[in-house]
A and B are shown apart, each in its own frame.
Chain A
Amino acid sequence: MVSVINTVDTSHEDMIHDAQMDYYGTRLATCSSDRSVKIFDVRNGGQILIADLRGHEGPVWQVAWAHPMYGNILASCSYDRKVIIWKEENGTWEKTHEHTGHDSSVNSVCWAPHDYGLILACGSSDGAISLLTYTGEGQWEVKKINNAHTIGCNAVSWAPAVVPGSLIDQPSGQKPNYIKKFASGGCDNLIKLWKEEEDGQWKEEQKLEAHSDWVRDVAWAPSIGLPTSTIASCSQDGRVFIWTCDDTSGNTWSPKLLHKFNDVVWHVSWSITANILAVSGGDNKVTLWKESVDGQWVCISDVNKGQGSVSASVTEGQQNEQ
């Protein structure tokens, strides 16, 4: 069942472009073509406006919550070519940093896994991806990947932090040797995977080609302790692909077509347990998909205005005894 537990009237004056809950699922951040970012406390079905953040001079496309270990921090990106990092100080939300390093609309922001520190990846229509790393004392270091996607990067999504070889805790005090990776999708119809080299430079590791039109969104699935990496991508061409990579080197990715929709697919989002994919299409349809036992992706729900039923066929009765 998909049942509405809270309908938040955002009072935005124009289209909403993104809505994201924080780490705990207690606060909602929204952004809109009305150039504002709003934060609501939605605990227990409430909807208390905590902040109405003004600072962007164009439509705000995306918002992203940083991990709470760094405080209450929200990043937003806008058509005005800016990325703004907002922070709650003494209960008040303020701009803490403004990144103006892009020459065109910044379409996507995504925080790296908290294990790496405070790192924000930003994808822009100028084709570049920038990486902002907080280095302390109010300083942000910027690394830029130019020409990541010709005529525009539409989405960035970090790979979960997985230490090669170990799933369990590391000896404390010692920095685990993470390999930082993220995926990006762009107007060159490509998905690219980027990896940080030992010298700190970002290098293109893979090009994933299957879409025949703009890649609108990519979403790297959360790690559930399996060696397989999974990425979902969606495109202007109406297709949604699930990419998987089983080998440890991370070099062989194979796509599986989840579905071809009749309209552009704007957004894909994994559930925290990585077993359900929410797909948002240009026909204003939201659908939920789940992989069946035989590896096929099946639509389990059509969500309309937050409501929907869940078909039981995939999820139940397929118990795998012995």
Chain B
Amino acid sequence: MKLKEVDRTAMQAWSPTQNHPIYLATGTSAQQLDATFSTSASLEIFELDLSDPSLDMKSCATFSSSHRYHKLIWGPHKMDPKGNVSGVLIAGGENGNIILYDPSKIIAGDKEVVIAQNDKHTGPVRALDVNIFQTNLVASGANESEIYIWDLNNFATPMTPGAKTQPPEDISCIAWNRQVQHILASASPSGRATVWDLRKNEPIIKVSDHSNRMHCSGLAWHPDVATQMVLASEDDRLPVVQMWDLRFASSPLRVLENHARGILAIAWSMADPELLLSCGKDAKILCSNPNTGEVLYELPTNTQWCFDIQWCPRNPAVLSAASFDGRISVYSIMGGSADGLRQKQADKLSSSFGNLDPFGTGQPLPPLQIPQQTAQHNIVLPLKKPPKWIRRPVGASFSFGGKLVTFENVKIQSQQGAEQQQQQHHVFISQVVTEKEFLSRSDQLQQVVQSQGFVSYCQKKIDASQTEFEKHVWSFLKVNFEDDSRGKYLELLGYRKEDLGKKIALALNKVDGPEVCIKEGKQESEFLPSAGGTFNISISGDIDGLITQALLTGNFESAVDLCLHDNRMADAIILAIAGGQELLAQTQKKYFAKSQSKITRLITAVVMKNWKEIVESCDLKNWREALAAVLTYAKPDEFSALCDLLGTRLESEGDSLLQTQACLCYICAGNVEKLVACWTKAQDGSNPLSLQDLIEKVVILRKAVQLTQAMDTNTVGVLLAEKMSQYANLLAAQGSIAAALAFLPENTNQPNIVQLRDRLCRAQGQPVPGQESPKIPYERQQLPKGRPGPMAGHTQMPRVPAQQYYPHGENPPPPGFIMHGNVNPNTATAQLPTSPGHMHTQVPPYPQPQRPQNGWNDPPALNRVPKKKKMPENFMPPVPITSPIMNPLGDPQSQMLPQQPSAPVPLSSQASFPQPHLAGGQTFHGIQQPLGQPGMPSSFSKPNIEGAPGAPIGNTIQHVQSLPTEKITKKPIPDEHLILKTTFEDLIQRCLSSATDPQTKRKLDDASKRLEFLYDKLREQTLSPTIINGLHSIARSIESRNYSEGLTIHTHIVSTSNFSETSAFMPVLKVVLTQANKLGV
């Protein structure tokens, strides 16, 4: 395909390989005149700009020369290593002269462009070549058998390669050997070629076929094989290219007879020894493989004789040809459509030549009478054989799981087209591991979670901490796993109970200090007087009297008012206490309104239990104090929210230092998502190790939250999910696919996570070969002719019955699955009836059976459950205290604490889920909690759940692990309390049916589940009568739809009861009541 053209009758030389951009130098050729008969001459330099689609070449410089040229070459001598234009243009002139030009000066437009000139030769200098090993050496040939070797560093006196050959003849070609630097060959129209050894300074061999018909117009050494060269003949009677091997110089090795008339020029590609260009008087430009003689390519468009042809050294697919019609054309041998170019050319030509191109073929009528070949179509085929330079010999590509696929082909010396030696064609699949520390830390983390050694892990982290902050974070995390976590938090914040006690005792021994507030309680008890003696009840008209009267009539309110009025605060408060809760509260309010001391607000908050006030309005410098107060006083159901609030304030209002402290608040709050957000802000998360830092904390915190609170209603948050999947991705990229699966959040329908899980599962190689693989979390697209194939139906395509995709229901489970079962024999998942606790049709299915069932995030309790334990028919799935770490309580799986526990949720609710079948013919439900269900009666979850953060949780871990499995059957709820259950459940159902947004539904589901704690307490009859009565009152107010009354009663119960008794269910009840109130059901 033609790329460019220049209308010049000229010799041509490409810039050397090193040069960028590529230039083409042209020098007006000698012995040719165009129609103007002009004898002026010029040297021009064009730039090959392939990004310009036009056929024009950009002329960079023109130098008017006094010479016309027989030969032009461009040597890399003294090439600027930066690749700027330089080197040297060497021209052979008409009168025995050789001229050296500086191309950079020509381009710069200098007038003095000639470096040196020498006219030692006789006659025209037709042959020039640069030694590729010593680029300062140039060989030249002229008439009278003259051959000179020029040293460009010392141009004045040339050398000769030896004695002139006799008889004297013109030298038409000269060429340095491409492998051996001191070997030179020359050839003459007489047909003889001579090989010179410069070390010996004599000709070492003469090559001739003695036919006398070889008129050498071209000579070229084999680029790779030192002893081989080709000679081209100009003679029409013998239009051949002869391939010679000097080891067998009596006759040519091969003769290429592809031209019909004499060959005018040849060029052997340095980039591919199998490509030899030749152009002849038959107007053809051919590209042949000199090693086989096969013609690989015929340049299509040429209608002219070409007298010079050159490969572009830098761009191996490009060649230029100078033709007698006064044009230099640049071609690509890679073929291709030139429609765009041609159109332009045609337009240009028809506008210039009018009707010379009446058919618009793009082929102008030739000015010379040479038979025209009309191009039938514009598609130019490429070389028959792919050139060497596009054959990629090596490759390395990454694939999933940190695998690297590599191959390399040993370079083959192509020896005269000999058979390739048999070689192994191997592809290597390698595992790339670059993050050793990351992996070992991840490994540690996994082990810790498996072994439950959280405390010592945290301690280790504390010891290893390099910053104070890091130490704090780990200390806070550690506290979660210890007794009296709130107390420990306080200690961490600098409030030690013992220390405080000492301080107070000290203060009391002295004169009353400023710490009045602290002393309050104690003083009261100490000074409570023992009533003795008689006293006078005055009913006079003064204040005392009035108070007395009011008291006598039981009118506490008035009495208090009077006391307040008289500024008798202590009296007022004492009286108010006697007057009941309401009055007390009022009185407190009034007192605080009057009182103005510095710590009043603190006291106010303590007494009014209004911690929100403190948290919202304290000076952020006092965040520790605020947190301490919250830790000491806040009720379990508001504790988290308060910590959160404080954290949020720190994050949004505080300076950068305080912002990071927000993390501590979030840790207290157990708010994983916010911890992630806060941490991410402060850290560069792209580094695997800093991600590891984060994940360690998150995993530990989640574990803590599960153990202590068991009431986090969040599912895996968006941000956390993203971080965890990023983490899993990193693990996978290091080849730790199993670990990646273990860390990947379980219960999220975020597509990227679901997809990653699917990918990880399959990457483990689990599907049976040839088996229709089960599910894939993508919406399926079908190609033609295909039946559904290995894809699974996505839930978004409910119209396709899922079963349709699984015709092979009898397929055995994937081996990986069985394997896992063996590893963890306690998880007889497949045999257990499980609750397909899922109403989320959005959750795409993934191959559940391939889940790593021995993952560390499996609940520890389960490991103790005997495998053979039969589940009672009406087995009720427990609350998922056992849920995997990434599976907070509010996750969709655990929402389905069924109202009718014995009936599994009908499959119709997830009809669009494919149902793979397992070996025993047991249906394995698409999404479920595979491990948590069996053998975990909900009643056992209870003790672990009731602890709000402040509550002592004891050795929760031991509790969990020592669960006796016998206690599976539950006692019935006493009849008289059954009404509570039915009422509450009914209410939740009503709310559920009228709630619209999924979040509310989730809350309600969760509530429904957590009320199980209440029912358990009812069963065990462990609740105090006051609470029971209160609950019944609530139930009654629910019956009467008076939810606000219910809420009031609720508040009363909470404020009057031991919170450890009620914390497991009262907050939930509140949620339900509030929702009911809101929804108005």
Contact = CB atoms under 8 A, between A and B. Distances in A.
A212 interface: yes
Count chain B CB atoms within 10 A of each CB in A96, A103, A189, A288 and give the residue with the most: A103
A309 to B, nearest CB: 10
Contacts, number: 363
Contact of B408 (A3, A126, A138, A286): A286
A33 B420 CA distance: 13
Contact of A26 (B50, B397, B732, B762): B762
B398 A10 contact: no
Given A103-B336, A104-B382, A321 B467 contact: yes
Interface in A279-312: 279-282, 284-286, 288, 290, 293, 300-301, 303, 305-308, 310, 312
Contacts of B732: 272
B1077 to A, nearest CB: 31
Contacts of B786: 71, 87, 89
A25 B684 CA distance: 30
A32 interface: yes
Contacts of A88: 789-790
Contacts of B1: 126, 151
Contacts of A42: 429
B391 A59 contact: yes
Interface string B373-409: 0000001111000100011111111111111111111
Interface in B458-477: 466-467, 469-470
Contact of A19 (B83, B314, B405): B405
B754 to A, nearest CB: 10
Interface residues of B, number: 107
B682 interface: yes
A152 B334 contact: yes
Contact of B729 (A24, A25, A273): A273
A107 interface: yes
Nearest to A59: B386
A150 B53 contact: yes
B689 to A, nearest CB: 5
Interface in A1-20: 1-20
B778 A23 contact: no
A229 interface: no
A19 B397 CA distance: 8
A322 B467 contact: yes
Contacts of B842: 172
Interface in A202-220: 207, 212-214
Given A128-B337, A207-B51, A25 B392 contact: no
Contact of A306 (B314, B429, B690, B791): B429
A282 B761 CA distance: 36
A282 to B, nearest CB: 7
B398 A278 contact: yes
A4 B334 contact: no
A142 interface: no
A70 B689 CA distance: 36
A25 B400 contact: yes
B392 A276 contact: no
Contacts of A310: 432-434
Contacts of B693: 319, 321
B791 A188 contact: no
Contacts of A3: 430-431, 433
Interface in B419-445: 420, 424-437
B726 interface: yes
A41 B339 CA distance: 44
B410 interface: yes
A270 B682 contact: no
B789 A72 contact: yes
Given A70-B783, A288-B432, A15 B684 contact: no
Given A42-B429, A172-B796, A321-B466, 19 more contacts: A1-B431, A16-B409, A19-B407, A21-B400, A69-B776, A136-B784, A146-B339, A151-B1, A267-B395, A269-B398, A271-B733, A272-B399, A272-B400, A272-B402, A284-B393, A286-B404, A318-B687, A318-B689, A320-B683
Interface of A: 1-26, 28, 30, 32-33, 41-44, 48, 58-59, 61, 67-73, 79, 81, 87-91, 96, 103-105, 107, 114, 117-118, 124-128, 134, 136-138, 146-147, 149-152, 154, 167-169, 172-173, 187-190, 207, 212-214, 224-226, 237, 266-267, 269-273, 275-276, 278-282, 284-286, 288, 290, 293, 300-301, 303, 305-308, 310, 312, 315-322
8 closest cross-chain pairs (CB), A and B: A306-B428, A126-B336, A138-B784, A21-B399, A69-B778, A43-B765, A212-B20, A150-B50
6 contacts: A15-B393, A15-B409, A23-B400, A151-B334, A151-B336, A266-B394
